[in-house]
Amino acid sequence: MEFEAVVFDLGGVVIDLERQRCIDAFRSLGFTDVEQYLDQYTQRGEFFLLETGAITAAEFYDRLRPLCPLAKCDVDIQDAFNKFLVKLPVERLDALRSLKEKCKVFALSNTNPVMYNSWICDAFRQQGMHIDDYFHGIIASFREGCCKPAHRIFHILAERYGLDPKRTLYLDDSENNCIAAAETGLRTEHVTPDNSMLHIVSKLF
């Protein structure tokens, strides 16, 4: 195989996203201007602070309660946030498992502890396994204190796992993130509807 490691973004690559579902869910809780905070790729305000690890999940809920006056409990806020995540098809899990037998497989994601420790980890249990069983390592923005497209997060990936960027392929649905990854020396593939994760992985076998 041409690559010794393949790195996957989670949302928009492995996991299908739908921003509008999340916006509608938060509006139903009374958070009327939530679209100003939620972007397909980069968040703002409390959402950005959570994603970069600047605040904890508990602090996030404390800050969101006044903005979501119709929420009866924190679970309502968690459920609204998780509406951003739509599905993780089993065939993508199968592809990760098959690829892991041939090379090193990693995840590098802008994510947060609310989604990660609920919906995301649950979705990776579909086959009776844990998210850590699908990857040799996971770089999550909230653990590292920085988000893509900052070069630092790509350097953390390469240094922590001893990767040769020239022999590492990175998949992301954000063109800006692909550009940033390429600037750190990684090989990249921009995931689009016509260039899906499964299509790219199938070319690697």
Tell me the per-residue pLDDT of 87-102, one tens digit each, with 9 for 90 and over: 999 999 999 999 999 9
Residue of 57, 52, 115 lying closest to 88 (CA atoms): 115
3-state class (DSSP) for residue 130: coil
- Its pTM stands at 0.96
Q: Dump pLDDT digits (tens) for 140-189.
A: 999 999 999 999 999 999 999 999 999 999 999 999 999 999 999 999 99
Please state, as a whole number, how many other Cβ atoms lie within 10 Å of the Cβ of residue 33. Answer: 10
Residue 41: predicted pLDDT: 80
| Pair 149, 54: CB distance under 8 Å | no
